[in-house]
Amino acid sequence: MNTMLVTLSIDIPGLGKHIKQLREAKNMSPTQLAALAGMSTANLYRIESETTKSVPRETLKALGKALGEDLDNEVKTALANTLTMDNIN
C-alpha cells in the first residue's frame, strides 16, 4: 500500500513571542536554548522575532523538549481551530 504525506500550514500568531517568554521565564539564554534544541542561535532569533514564515514541526518539538513545554499542543489546537472554522464556512 502506498502512502501519501500531506503537509499543512497553520498560522499560530504570537508563537515566537511565547517561546521567548518561556525561555526567559526559565532564565535561559538564546544560546543555551538553541544548543539544547539542536539549532543555531540565529535560527532561534528568527523564530522568536517571528521573521521566519515557516517552522518545521520537529523544530517546535525540539524547542518544547528543551523548554519542558508541549509546543506541539499549540499546533494541535491551532489545527483544530482551523478545521472547525473550515466547517463553519
The tens digit of pLDDT for each residue in 39-73 reads: 999 999 999 999 988 888 889 999 999 999 988 88
Residue 10 falls within a domain, yes or no? no
Output the CA torsion 34→40→46→50 (10° steps): -40
| Host domain of residue 27 | 15-84
* Helices 30-37 and 41-48, packing angle to 10 deg: 110
Residue 25 falls within a domain, yes or no? yes
Q: What is the CATH number of the domain that holds 65?
A: 1.10.260.40
pTM, two decimals, is 0.80
3-state SS string for 34-62: HHHHCCCHHHHHHHHCCCCCCCCHHHHHH
Residue 79 falls within a domain, yes or no? yes
The tens digit of pLDDT for each residue in 11-30 reads: 788 899 999 999 999 999 99
Residue 2 falls within a domain, yes or no? no
Residue 5 falls within a domain, yes or no? no
In total, how many domains does the chain have? 1
d(CA 49, CA 20) in angstroms, rounded, equals 9
